[in-house]
Each structure stands twice: as structure tokens, then as C-alpha cells.
Amino acid sequence: MIIATLIFVISLALLLQFFVSYCRSVIAASRKSELSERVREVAGIQDQGVRGEEFTRLVQLLHLCPGRGDDTGELRAVGAYYSLLAAMNKAFQPISLAVARWAEAERESCSYFAAVALDRRISYSRELLAQQISGSL
């Protein structure tokens, strides 16, 4: 029984490590993209960066835009990662300020990812609209 429990705990830890690595790689890929003025205006982003607490609002805006469906899995994974980071931030804030700062920086990266995804969906919506207008003329 002890060996089975140990195997389960190690497997769970490895799965968590893989999940975090996957989410960080998805987020890192979005960091290469600049946010357009259009998405800054729609999302109400005034600073260069995106605050960590804006993630929920950005995801709500994402659900309003039609998408190709190719980023749904990534959005769910980053959303779960964001929830994990929020719990970590809350838990470690009174204990370790360095861990809380790291978690907040990661939450900001999650929000930036959501803003980039929103930018892509807005561009896709504009393309669809242009196709419909050109097709109806």
C-alpha cells in the first residue's frame, strides 16, 4: 500500500510539473506578440502591461468573440494555471513575499496571454465581417 501511494504521489507531482511547463511554454509564445491598439481599447488596457486581476474580464470578452476553435484547449489550460497561481499567491503572501511576487508575475503573463488571444479573435472577426461584406456585394 505504501509503494502504491508513493507511486501515485510521484506521478501526480510529475503531471503537475508537465502541466506547469506546458502552460508556461504557451504563455511564453504569446509574449512575442504585441497587443494592438484595437484590443487595448476594447479591453480597457491603458498601461504597457496587463494586470493579473484582468484575466477573468479578458476571458469573458474572449467568450463574446467568435473564434476558430484552435485555442480553446490552451485557454482552458492557462485558466486552470491562473487559478493555481491565484491560490498560491493567496497562500504564500503572508509566508514568502518572493513566491507571492513570482505568482503575481505569472498571473500577469496569463492575463497577457488572454489579451493576445482576444486580439487574434478580434482580427478573425474582422476578417469574417470583411468576407461577408465582400460576398454580399
**What are the CA-CA distances from residue 85 to residues 27, 32, 67, 69 (Å)?**
14, 22, 26, 25
State yes or no: pLDDT of 41 exceeds 70.
yes
Which structural domain, as residue segments, surrounds residue 123? 2-136
Residue 136 — pLDDT band, cuts 50, 70, 90? Answer: low
Segments in the chain forming alpha helices (H): 2-30, 37-43, 55-64, 72-92, 97-136
Task: Give the mean model confidence (pLDDT) for residues 70-97.
Answer: 89
Task: Give the mean model confidence (pLDDT) for residues 67-80.
Answer: 88
State yes or no: pLDDT of 137 exceeds 70.
no
pTM of the model: 0.86
Amino acid at 77: A
In this structure, of 15-24, 34-43, 101-110, the range with the lowest mean pLDDT score is 34-43
State yes or no: pLDDT of 6 exceeds 90.
yes
Q: How buried is residue 99: exposed, middle or buried, by Cβ count under 10 Å (0-12/13-18/19+)? A: middle
- Total domains in the fold of the chain: 1
